[in-house]
């Protein structure tokens, strides 16, 4: 685990291009971003009393993060789909947590993993998956699916096929 604070991360300088960072610097930045506690990292758990295998999905259509190289904004759609056990997250705390990504330079592949880890650790669902759809960058669309991928199999809701 890399010990780094959001205050330290805010002092990082953007790089002109990926090739400007040596492997050690880039690795440090990614590990720091993955491990840092953001301002609103604490989700408030609410007791769940619904159906045994109910599937819950939170959809946030405009998650904004920072490119870890240029620090330019990246825009995502995030789907958090899970089967609750004892808790669900209170939505205001989930929203503030997701809004904190606007200050975090992290690649989209790592955003999906960080959200998955955070929600899994705090509400401990039976199953959980996070789908992150990245707006086009350089003519390329990127989707990242982390966790229990079968929660997105045969999806009939929002188009999420990857």
Tokens describing residue 4: 């780094």
The predicted model gives 37-47 an average pLDDT of: 95
Residue 85 lies in a domain: yes
Q: Are residues 33 and 105 in contact, defined by beta-carbon separation less than 8 angstroms?
A: yes
Does pLDDT of 156 surpass 70? no
53 in catalytic set: no
For residue 161, pLDDT beyond 70: no
Average pLDDT value for the chain: 90
Of 53, 67, 100, 153, the active-site residue reads 67
β-strand partners of 129: 81, 147
Task: For residue 2, give every residue at least 6 positions away whose Cβ sits within 8 Å of its Cβ, in sequence order, or none.
Answer: 28, 31, 32, 34, 35
Indicate the pLDDT class of residue 162, thresholds 50, 70 and 90: very low
**Cα(74)–Cα(71) distance, rounded to whole angstroms?**
9
Is 116 a residue whose pLDDT tops 50? yes
Which of 22, 35, 53, 74 does the annotation list as catalytic?
Answer: 74
pLDDT in tens, 66-92: 988 889 899 999 999 999 999 999 999
CATH code, 111: 3.30.1130.10
Domain total for the chain?
Answer: 1
Q: Is 67 part of the annotated catalytic residue set?
A: yes
Domain residues for the domain of 19 are 6-152
Domain assignment present for residue 161? The answer is no
- For residue 127, pLDDT over 70 is answered with yes
pTM: 0.89
């Amino acid at each position: 685990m890399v010990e780094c604070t959001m205050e330290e991360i805010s002092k990082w300088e953007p790089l002109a291009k990926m090739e400007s960072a040596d492997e050690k610097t880039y690795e440090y930045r990614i590990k720091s971003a993955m491990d840092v506690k953001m301002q609103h990292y604490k989700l408030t758990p609410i007791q769940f009393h619904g159906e045994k295998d109910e599937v819950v999905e939170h959809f946030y259509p405009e998650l904004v993060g920072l490119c870890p190289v240029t620090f330019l904004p990246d825009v995502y759609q995030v789907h958090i789909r899970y089967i609750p056990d004892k808790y669900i997250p209170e939505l205001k705390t989930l929203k503030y947590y997701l809004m904190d990504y606007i200050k975090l330079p992290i690649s989209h592949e790592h955003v999906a993993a960080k959200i998955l880890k955070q929600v899994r650790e705090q509400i401990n669902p039976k199953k959980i998956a996070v789908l992150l759809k990245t707006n086009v960058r350089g003519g390329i669309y990127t989707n990242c699916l982390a966790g229990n991928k079968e929660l997105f199999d045969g999806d009939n809701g929002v188009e999420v096929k990857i």
